[in-house]
Amino acid sequence: AYVVTENCIKCKYQDCVEVCPVDCFYEGENFLVINPDECIDCGVCEPECPAEAIVPDSDDKAAAWAQLNRDYSGQWPNITRKGDAPADADAWKNKPDKADLLSP
């Protein structure tokens, strides 16, 4: 499965949502997650993310985020259409240490 990681926080561009063939993204206030049981590993979302937040779960960067994607995908609503990104999304792009800013 693919995993959404820290770079998505407060960027939430949602380009990923538009391309997913199985609609397995789930939406929080300032972050999205992938349901790993629904993801078919097609990989098309990975290059679509302007923040480079999506990685395969085999990636080192995925380790801290895989369980979080699993947990929140069971709690948050499904999202299948791209909405507006936050107005200050570009200002948060590539900022380090955003993990504590995730809104549950």
Judged by CB, which is closer to ligand SF4: 9, or 53? 53
Partner whose footprint covers residue 3, from ligand SF4, ligand F3S, none (CB < 5 to 8 Å by kind): none
| 73/36 Cα distance (integer angstroms) | 8
Tell me the two tokens of residue 1.
């499965």
Question: Which chain residues interact with ligand F3S by CB under 6 A?
Answer: 4, 8, 11-16, 32, 49, 51, 53-54
Burial class (CB in 10 A: 0-12, 13-18, 19+), 86: middle
Q: State the nearest-atom distance from the C-beta of 24 to ligand SF4, in Å.
A: 5
Mention every residue, 6+ apart, whose C-beta is less than 8 A from residue 83: 14
Judged by CB, which is closer to ligand F3S: 37, or 90? 90
Q: Which residues are bridge partners to 26 per DSSP?
A: 33, 78
Judged by CB, which is closer to ligand SF4: 37, or 88? 37
Q: State the nearest-atom distance from the C-beta of 60 to ligand F3S, in Å.
A: 18
| 6/99 Cα distance (integer angstroms) | 6
Q: State the nearest-atom distance from the C-beta of 79 to ligand F3S, in Å.
A: 9
